[in-house]
Chains A and B, each alone.
Chain A
Amino acid sequence: METVLLEVRDLRTSFFTDDGEVKAVDGVSFALPLGKTLGIVGESGSGKSITALSILKLIADNGKIIGGEIHYKGNDLLTYSDKQMRDIRGNAISMIFQEPMTSLNPVFTVGQQISESIMKHQNLSKKAALVKSVELLKLVGIPSPDKRIKQYPYELSGGMRQRVMIAMALACNPEILIADEPTTALDVTIQAQILRLIRELQMRLGMSVIMITHDLGVVAETCDYVAVMYAGQVVEYSDVVTLFQKPKHPYTIGLMNSLPRHDVEVEKLESIKGNVPNPKEMPTGCRFAPRCPAATDLCRREMPALMKDVEGNDVRCWIYSEKWEGESEVIVYGEKRIAESRGTETILSD
């Protein structure tokens, strides 16, 4: 059994707007084992980023964490004071953001920005911090780092800035690195470089990584465990091999089916019918029920809990419970797909 470094249990974060409460994160649970990478996947607005920000308690003013537990090394971060959290942020848990273009302060040089956090958390002098900054830039693969630290963010390309962001995040040897869609704003070749860099650094420094993405390709390439999110909830949590070989939740299966494949020629990619529910008018039962091909009355009436299946993975779907009475052709659909990916000649037909 692996040591769990960070465990999130039933996290709930809501935003309070003039139109009422918006449950952005509503019952998210997952575990991040030591030295591993956890992927959080989901579409826009599914609550991935809010989950990450909740871990660092960096929710905007009108938002509030209203329930749950975030255990880091046995302590619940939600009970920490602001001051204690500031010592955690950047030091034990670091975060890199989606937009490298706007994540650096335009009025300071790269060196000043990296050394800021070093000086704060490690009590080093300005000079020592600058020396460390040069080392960090070298670590993240930036050529001629001693020149780069004197430059301003606008003088660097997107890929370079993301490397600088990573250097800043790594400045104090964090145990957990949260990467919030670190490659979304970069072009494909740079994406691959950055992902490889994160993986290399993880191995070298022994960090655990939470990789937030909407790209299943990134998940397959980098993650050990995956939490799939839909409408503010984790609908499936398992290791990455199981997720790709045997997706269980109808939503995950839908996602898998909608991936383009190089070995099968299709006229049109599959899509999941319908739209993500409006967070202000969530369906009473399962949140995926309105779009789920297998939904029954039970699904529309009652929300399923995140349940352990026989293999020990978590899934939030009635199909896998004893209460299930409907047909489960959704699963068969998934099985077919898997069969095909194993090399059988069956081509999907409607």
Chain B
Amino acid sequence: MVQHTPVAGIGQKRSSPRVEAYKAFWRRLSKNKAAVVGGVLILFFVLTGFIGPLLTTLDPYEPQISNKLKPPSAEHWFGTDNYGRDIFTRIIHGMSITMKVGFFSVALGGIVGVFFGIISGYYGGKLDTVIMRIMDVLLAFPGILLALAIVSVLGGSVQNMIIAVGVFSVPAFARIVRGSTLSVRKLEYIDAVKALGASDARIIFKHILPNVMSPIIVQLTLRIATAVLTASGLAFLGLGAKPPTPEWGAMLSEGRAYMQQAPHLVLFPGVAIVIVVLAFNIFGDGLRDALDPKMRK
């Protein structure tokens, strides 16, 4: 019998295809300069969130009335607020709150959303209709309004803010995952593993989930930006983290009254929000391009 050997591989040393695939992914991602900047910024924010609060010498909570509303100086880089607290210190502490809210709320929304999306897409029929109509109802609310409603029921705290923002992320994940599941489910290899006796749970988690992972990863990154924005918005409206918590939205809200005399009170928290949101957005866009097979040459 003639044995045909494809050109790929046999006999020659090379790393495993999985490593190759990752390498190719990194190459595509690192070509996108904006995404690299976004990624580095995110890394920096995460690190700051973890170790920043340990490095600051000033107390973010303790008022020092004698020092109030000082403009930025060598001593207070971002100036002080209406209670004389150092704004730089408060922003660093706020970073860990922001990161916590961003990551945990999206993780919560992601897990719940992916689960509902995948069973909705896989089983279809009545289950699909019921789940997706509930998601439509959630989507019909403007995000902030929905989060507002949840926070006003649960009460304002960082934890409840995470829950509220998480709930409003659920439908976005559910929709995307359902769509991808619908297309993957029709592929022949799903029939093939069914014909080999695989159970539904196995097909869903072992065979469908890894194949719908790329849109999920992209959505996770992009959703963090939205979550940060929503959380700040909630706090700004006085429904999220309460003062004196150094939450950026709350800081904005407090500083609003002094905007005329001391614009740095709102400028720095505002800029911090913008940079974080921007970093996650451009990194998410870069990820999408790098993970999209259509972009590959």
**Which positions in A face B, CB cutoff 8 Å?**
53, 56, 58, 61, 86-91, 94-99, 102-109, 116-117, 120-121, 141, 143-144, 147, 150-152, 155-157, 159-160, 165, 168-169, 171, 189-190, 193, 196
Contact = CB atoms under 8 A, between A and B. Distances in A.
Interface stretch (B69-77, B148-156, B194-202, B280-288): B194-202
Contacts of A109: 17
B197 A120 contact: yes
A102 B189 contact: yes
A87 B18 CA distance: 32
17 contacts: A87-B197, A89-B194, A95-B192, A97-B188, A107-B210, A108-B210, A116-B193, A120-B196, A120-B197, A141-B1, A151-B9, A155-B9, A156-B6, A157-B4, A160-B6, A171-B196, A196-B1
B196 A89 contact: yes
Contacts of B188: 97-99, 102-103
A56 B192 CA distance: 11
B243 interface: no
Contacts of A102: 187-189
A141 B192 contact: no
B197 A165 contact: no
Contact of B197 (A90, A96, A143, A159): A90
A155 B2 CA distance: 19
Contacts of A96: 192
A106 B207 CA distance: 9
A91 B197 CA distance: 7
A90 B187 CA distance: 18
B57 interface: no
Contacts of A121: 197
Nearest to A104: B189
Contacts of A117: 193, 196-198
B194 A58 contact: yes
Nearest to B5: A143
Contacts of B55: none
B3 A143 contact: yes
Nearest to B206: A116
B124 interface: yes
Contacts of B6: 155-157, 160
Tell which of B9, B18, B187, B193 has the most Cβ of chain A within 10 Å. B193
Contacts of B295: none
A105 B211 contact: yes
Contacts of A94: 195-196
A223 B16 CA distance: 42
B142 interface: no
A61 B191 contact: no
Contacts of A152: 17-18
Interface string B110-129: 00000000000000110000
A346 B210 CA distance: 64
A192 to B, nearest CB: 10
Given A155-B17, A157-B4, A157-B6, A103 B192 contact: yes
Contacts of A169: 195-196
Contacts of A155: 6, 8-9, 17
Contacts of B10: 143-144, 147
B197 A141 contact: no
Closest 6 CB pairs of A and B: A90-B196, A90-B197, A89-B197, A95-B195, A117-B196, A102-B188
Interface in B179-233: 187-189, 191-199, 202, 206-207, 210-211
Contacts of A157: 4, 6
B19 to A, nearest CB: 12
Given A94-B196, A165-B192, 5 more contacts: A102-B188, A104-B192, A143-B10, A151-B17, A190-B4
A105 B207 contact: yes
Contacts of B3: 141, 143
Contacts of A89: 194-197
Contact of A61 (B124, B195, B196): B124
Contacts of A116: 193, 196, 198, 206
A154 to B, nearest CB: 8
A196 B5 CA distance: 19
Contact of B1 (A97, A120, A156, A193): A193
Given A144-B10, A155-B9, A157-B4, A58 B196 contact: no
B191 A107 contact: no
A168 B16 contact: no
Interface in B1-37: 1-6, 8-10, 16-18
A95 B202 CA distance: 19
Contacts of B198: 86, 90, 116-117, 120
A190 B2 CA distance: 10
Contacts of B206: 116
B199 A86 contact: yes
B121 to A, nearest CB: 12
A209 to B, nearest CB: 15
